[in-house]
């Protein structure tokens, strides 16, 4: 069910990293904390550009990494007007929790961060960007009935113009 994270991977975030990113990109940042469904405290940094487009990107790190490992995405996002919400996943960095559940509990953590971004961060839209296990957690957090899971009709597929399909494929890119 779960894996215990070695104690060497649990540490407080270095706020000077966030200070440098914000200063170099003319942005502001703040530290945030929410409670997971099971009461585990979850920590994040939120970076906001001066010219914010109203969208926030939730950036999730991989297994045995921390928010400092994915904070490098913030400058690119900030340059394009996106806010970046970068948490430590449960059991990593400064977030609590003795176990990593590979998405079982983390998918609800993602939903809580998305709700926080809208309610407290003012985000009109929230996107996700994940590295390794962070990407897997983002995919697990999608609703079961999502257009993402359906094959695209051939007429709407960007692949169909460059990738010929045979008549036996029924005109869809995915089968």
Beta bridge partners of 59: 129
Alpha helices in the chain (DSSP H): 15-24, 67-70, 74-79, 106-119, 133-141, 158-162
Please tell me the predicted confidence (pLDDT) of residue 144: 57
Q: pLDDT digit string (tens) for 106-147? A: 999 999 999 999 999 899 999 999 999 999 999 999 875 554
Average pLDDT, the chain: 81
Buried b / exposed e over 25-54, threshold 16 CB at 10 Å, is: bebebeebebebeeebebbbbbbbbeebee
Please tell me the predicted confidence (pLDDT) of residue 159: 38
Rounded Cα distance, 23 and 25, in Å? 5
**Entry pTM:** 0.78
Q: Mean of the pLDDT values across residues 43-67?
A: 95
Which residue would you say has higher pLDDT here, 54 or 3? 54
Please tell me the predicted confidence (pLDDT) of residue 163: 36
Please tell me the predicted confidence (pLDDT) of residue 4: 56
Q: pLDDT digit string (tens) for 163-174? A: 333 343 333 333
């Amino acid at each position: 069910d779960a894996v215990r994270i070695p104690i060497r991977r649990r540490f407080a975030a270095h706020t000077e990293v966030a200070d440098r990113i914000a200063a170099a990109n003319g942005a502001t940042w703040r530290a945030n904390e929410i409670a997971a469904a099971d009461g585990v405290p979850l920590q994040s940094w939120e970076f906001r550009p001066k010219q914010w487009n109203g969208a926030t990107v939730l950036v999730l790190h991989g297994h045995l990494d921390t928010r400092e490992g994915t904070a490098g995405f913030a400058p690119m996002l900030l340059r394009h007007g996106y806010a970046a919400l970068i948490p430590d996943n449960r059991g990593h960095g400064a977030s609590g929790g003795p176990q990593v559940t590979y998405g079982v509990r983390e998918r609800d953590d993602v939903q809580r961060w998305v709700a926080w971004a809208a309610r407290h961060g003012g985000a009109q839209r929230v996107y996700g960007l994940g590295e390794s296990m962070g990407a897997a957690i983002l995919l697990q957090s999608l609703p079961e009935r999502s257009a993402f899971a359906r094959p695209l009709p051939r007429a709407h597929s960007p692949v169909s113009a460059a990738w010929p399909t045979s008549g036996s494929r029924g005109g869809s890119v995915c089968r």
